[in-house]
Amino acid sequence: MTRKQLFVPTVLLGLAIVLWFASDYMEIAVGVAFFLFGMHCLEEGFKVFTGGTLERVLRRSTDRLWKCLLFGTASTTVMQSSTLVSLITISFVSAEMIALAAGIGIIMGANIGTTTGAWLIAGLGLRVNIAAYAMPMLVFGVVMLMQNAKGVKGAGYLLMGAGFLFFGIHYMKEGFDTFQGAMDLSAYSMSGLAGVLMFTLIGMLMTVIMQSSHASLLIIITALAAGQVSYENALAMAIGANLGSAITTALGGLAANIGGRRLAAAHVIFNVISAAVAITFIGQLSWLVGWLASLIGIRPDDYLLQLALFHTIFNVLGVVILVPVVGVLASALERWIKPAPQSSEQPLYLYADALETPETAVTAVRKEVQHLFDNASGLIAHGISLKRSTIDSDASLQEAIAATRRHFPLDIEAAYEEKIKSLHSEIVGFIASARSQKNLEAVSDELYALRQASRDVAEAVKGMKHLHTNLVQYGLSENTAVRAKYDAIRLRLGKLLRQLRQLMQGETGELPALEVDAARVDLHKTSRKMLDELDELIRSHKLRPAIATSIMNDENYLMQIASNLLDAAQVVLAGGAVDLKDGLSLDRIELKELASQQEATGRPK
Q: Which residues of 145-163 are buried (b: 16+ CB within 10 A; e: fewer)?
A: beeeeeeebbbbbbbbbbb
Question: What type of residue is 105?
Answer: G
Q: Binder to another protein among 339, 506, 509, 576 (CB under 8 A)?
A: 509
Residue 110 near residue 78 (C-beta atoms within 8 A):
no
Instruction: Quote the least distance from Cβ 604 to another protein, whole Å.
Output: 4
Instruction: Quote the least distance from Cβ 532 to another protein, whole Å.
Output: 16
Q: Which is nearer to another protein, 449 or 594 (CB)?
A: 594
CA–CA dist 40, 368 (Å, integer): 31
Q: Binder to another protein among 421, 435, 598, 599 (CB under 8 A)?
A: 598
- String of DSSP letters for 575-600: TT-HHHHHHHS--HHHHHHHHHHHHH
Residue (of 124, 114, 228) closest to 170 by Cα position: 124
CA–CA dist 557, 474 (Å, integer): 15
CA–CA dist 151, 400 (Å, integer): 61
Range 553-592, binding another protein (CB under 8 A): 577, 580-581, 583-586, 590
Segment interacting with another protein (CB under 8 A) among 28-36, 76-84, 229-237, 515-523: 515-523
Instruction: Quote the least distance from Cβ 568 to another protein, whole Å.
Output: 19
Q: Which is nearer to another protein, 476 or 586 (CB)?
A: 586
Q: Binder to another protein among 272, 313, 337, 518 (CB under 8 A)?
A: 518
Segment interacting with another protein (CB under 8 A) among 99-107, 473-481, 485-493, 519-527: 519-527
Segment interacting with another protein (CB under 8 A) among 106-114, 447-455, 505-513, 563-571: 505-513
Q: What is the x/- site pattern for another protein, positions 53-92, by CB under 8 A?
A: ----------------------------------------
**521 contacts another protein (rule: CB under 8 A):** yes
Q: How many residues bind another protein (CB under 8 A)?
A: 25
CA–CA dist 170, 477 (Å, integer): 87
Instruction: Quote the least distance from Cβ 569 to another protein, whole Å.
Output: 15
Residue (of 116, 108, 117) closest to 267 by Cα position: 108
Q: Binder to another protein among 150, 388, 525, 528 (CB under 8 A)?
A: 525
Instruction: Quote the least distance from Cβ 504 to another protein, whole Å.
Output: 18
Q: What is the x/- site pattern for another protein, positions 472-501, by CB under 8 A?
A: ------------------------------
What 8-state DSSP symbol labels residue 601?
T
**605 contacts another protein (rule: CB under 8 A):** yes
**514 contacts another protein (rule: CB under 8 A):** yes
CA–CA dist 605, 497 (Å, integer): 26
Residue 310 near residue 203 (C-beta atoms within 8 A):
no
Residue (of 72, 101, 66, 100) closest to 85 by Cα position: 72
Residue 32 near residue 172 (C-beta atoms within 8 A):
yes
**517 contacts another protein (rule: CB under 8 A):** yes
Q: Which is nearer to another protein, 413 or 590 (CB)?
A: 590
CA–CA dist 308, 290 (Å, integer): 12
Instruction: Quote the least distance from Cβ 511 to another protein, whole Å.
Output: 6
Q: Which is nearer to another protein, 238 or 530 (CB)?
A: 530
- The number of helix segments (H) and strand segments (E) in the chain equals 27, 0
Residue 83 near residue 248 (C-beta atoms within 8 A):
yes
Residue 416 near residue 380 (C-beta atoms within 8 A):
no
**15 contacts another protein (rule: CB under 8 A):** no
Q: Binder to another protein among 255, 325, 328, 511 (CB under 8 A)?
A: 511
Instruction: Quote the least distance from Cβ 60 to another protein, whole Å.
Output: 19
**603 contacts another protein (rule: CB under 8 A):** yes
- String of DSSP letters for 433-489: HHHT-GGGGGGHHHHHHHHHHHHHHHHHHHHHHHHHHHHHHHTT-SSHHHHHHHHHH
Segment interacting with another protein (CB under 8 A) among 168-176, 205-213, 521-529, 533-541: 521-529
Binding site for another protein (CB under 8 A): 509-511, 513-515, 517-518, 521-522, 525, 577, 580-581, 583-586, 590, 594, 597-598, 603-605
